[in-house]
Amino acid sequence: MDIIEKIEIKHFRSFDGGKEQEKVRIDNLKDLNIFSGANDSGKSNVLRALNLFFNNEISPGIQFDKDRDFSKIVALRFDKEVEERKAKQKSKQLIEELKDVRRSDEVISIKLFFNNEKNQRGLPKSFWIARLYSQKNNFAGEYVYQTDLRGNAQVTNFLNNFKFEYVPAIKDKLFFNYLFEKLQKHLFEKESKNKENKFATSSRQFNEMLTTETKELFSKFQLSSGVDANFYIPSTLVDFFRTLSVITENEISLFERGDGIQARFIPEILDEISRNSRKNIIWGFEEPENSYEAKNIRKIGNEFLTKYSQKKQIFITTHTKEFLSLKRQFTEKELEIEANTQLKKSDKRLELSKLTGINRSSDVSIYRVWKNASTNYTSYVTRFDEKNNEWEKTCDDLGIIQESRIVESLQERLNEQSLEIAKSKLSSEDRKRVSKELIKDLNKKLFASIKELDSVRLKIEEYEKPILVVEDKLDSIYKISYLKLRDIDCNAENYDELFRENCYFTIRRAEGAGKVAGMLSMPNTDGYEHKKIIGLFDFDTEGCEKFYLLRNQNNWDNTIHGDTSTGVYKKRNQHECFYALLIPVPTRHNCLVSKIKDGVFGSHVEIENLLPDQILTDNNLVEEKSILDRNYLKIKDGVKRNLPNILCGLNKSDFNDFVPLFEKIDNLFNN
């Protein structure tokens, strides 16, 4: 039931919404409305506002108090304005003619927009009614109606047809006593089909029996005292029910059971009280998950969705992902109508609106309640949908990870799987075997799709640090040279961790010049908008070609910047820091590189060639090659795995030709 379509709150507790302030509107309300947010965000004040509207109290037994319930934020603003007006009058020397500068607009307003789905006679299809607490009504509260409803007696009948039940977050024994009194009142007002109240009849019969059995006793009392007397059991049995207790299995009192078992009675009792009621029933239920473990939170959440909200509109506050993950579960009849290709969209909506009972599913709206620091921490309410980022903000508010929504979806699938197994004709042992096999299959898929913790660390690094993408399958030469040039001693076991701790950028291995170029050539930079990227190529034939051909792409600047000794580079358009870079070439290798700016690619300098030739030959890392009149050292296949031990044993001076490379990287990342 979604009879309330929208709520507007003004000047109530943590809500402002007054003059020149953003209105607090809670719209698109459904059958089940879930409010979440951080502690002290104002979630409960939404429910209290509804209770004040319908019951003229803040919570059960707590009456409205203007000093407590009028927004403190607004009151302070009003006080400031009053003082400013006083000061202004004094400056004009109008003390003797001091105008009334008291607060004149202290008004708490709770406005509800109704959907008259039952088409109550004399009322429009939709309309609003507000309840105001102001100086004019001595803060006693009065209803105010939209213009065309003033004087309409049907409005009073409409309001009288509501029953709002409020359940606070703390469900103590006082609340249970209050709840049991409501239950006993319901039982004594309940009539059978022939209009007979069974409790009243039993009470009358019990009185007649007592009169008969105690006739002699009270006759003697009359003779001795001169006063007529008799036992009497009132028809309402109010005093009797104040001692009402609930005995659970093994004759253990309900109040000696755990809080979760006690709390489980609350929605059931409220549901019993409203059963067969002709009134519009609305619940305001704070934190229904309190005292439940996760599996029972899912269960009670599903009952709120599929059972309790069928015939009543419910507003709840929550901190749990189990309630936040609730969504509409369409019935077979609804799915049948949606799948009917013979019906237009408008006809489908009409047919769906006619559904009742088990054929109609409850719809859900989820809201984030939050406070705005820029407006003195007033409360605001924003509805969550798949197109905004309120889910992410709600996760931040509650300290839960966004993946919890995925986990809840997985839990739904597992529950469906369990039900399917339970419906089968398999023996209990075979059911267990099937379940174990399915879980085993699921684990394989999960571990195949979810990477290890190192992958998480790498992803974090990409957001914390700029990214250098290199051709190599192994990156030890970059990391060890960087550490050596900064006088950081390292060995083959710790250089990787030391680099992570001491370098401001991170390295990603593309395993080939073509793959570096492919990454740099992506059609758009989605996912990299806020990251700094350099793709580094060796100054060899393949590296030069892949680098140069980037100029033919629309998203790259055609200009090639820099020079061979300090690093030739180019920049991607529409990005602050997205570069392609060729390794700087030491002067001793100038004869091995071509004029890249002229589109000539025949070059032969790899990253290892920045090391002294003597080190490369002494460690058997290279083989001598020649082309035309040029000789060069080519890195052998498979020897790079030996590099860490070799590099860590070198001196700082052996890495001098790496200095221009890191200077250019610094320049591009920090430009």
> Structure tokens of 438?
């399915």
- The answer to whether the beta carbons of residues 289 and 319 sit under 8 Å apart is yes
Handedness of CA 550, 551, 552, 555 (dihedral sign): positive
Burial class (CB in 10 A: 0-12, 13-18, 19+), 152: middle
Which of 532, 385, 563 shows the shortest CA–CA distance to 469?
532
pLDDT digits (tens, 9 = 90+) for 188-242: 666 555 556 555 666 666 667 667 766 766 676 667 666 666 655 554 444 554 4
Question: What is the chain's length?
Answer: 671
Q: What value, to the nearest 5°, has the Cα angle with vertex 302 and ends 296 and 306?
A: 150
Global pTM?
A: 0.60
pLDDT for the residue numbered 115: 87
pLDDT digits (tens, 9 = 90+) for 312-333: 999 999 988 888 888 888 888 8
Burial class (CB in 10 A: 0-12, 13-18, 19+), 206: middle
pLDDT for the residue numbered 463: 72
Cα(572)–Cα(550) distance, rounded to whole angstroms?
Answer: 9
In sequence order, the 6+-apart residues with CB closer than 8 A to the CB of 69 are: 12, 13, 52, 58, 108, 133
- The answer to whether the beta carbons of residues 325 and 302 sit under 8 Å apart is no
pLDDT for the residue numbered 270: 84
pLDDT digits (tens, 9 = 90+) for 527-563: 777 789 999 999 999 999 999 988 767 788 888 999 9
Q: How many CB atoms lie within 10 A of CB 357?
A: 9
pLDDT for the residue numbered 241: 47
CA 195 from chain centre, in angstroms, equals 50
Which of 33, 272, 270 shows the shortest CA–CA distance to 167?
270
Average pLDDT for 608-617 = 93
Q: Which residue has the tokens 């992506």?
A: 522
- The answer to whether the beta carbons of residues 631 and 625 sit under 8 Å apart is yes
Share of the chain above pLDDT 70, in %: 79
For the chain, count helices (H), then strands (E): 24, 24
For residues 330, 331, 333, 336, the Cα torsion angle rounded to the nearest 10 degrees is 50
Alpha-carbon separation of residue 284 from 35, 210, 254 (angstroms) = 11, 43, 24
Cα(563)–Cα(130) distance, rounded to whole angstroms?
Answer: 75
pLDDT digits (tens, 9 = 90+) for 142-182: 999 988 887 777 888 889 989 999 988 887 778 877 777 77
Which of 106, 151, 108 shows the shortest CA–CA distance to 131?
108
Kindly report the backbone phi and psi dihedral angles of residue 370, in degrees, each rounded to the nearest multiple of 5, phi listed first.
Answer: -145, 165
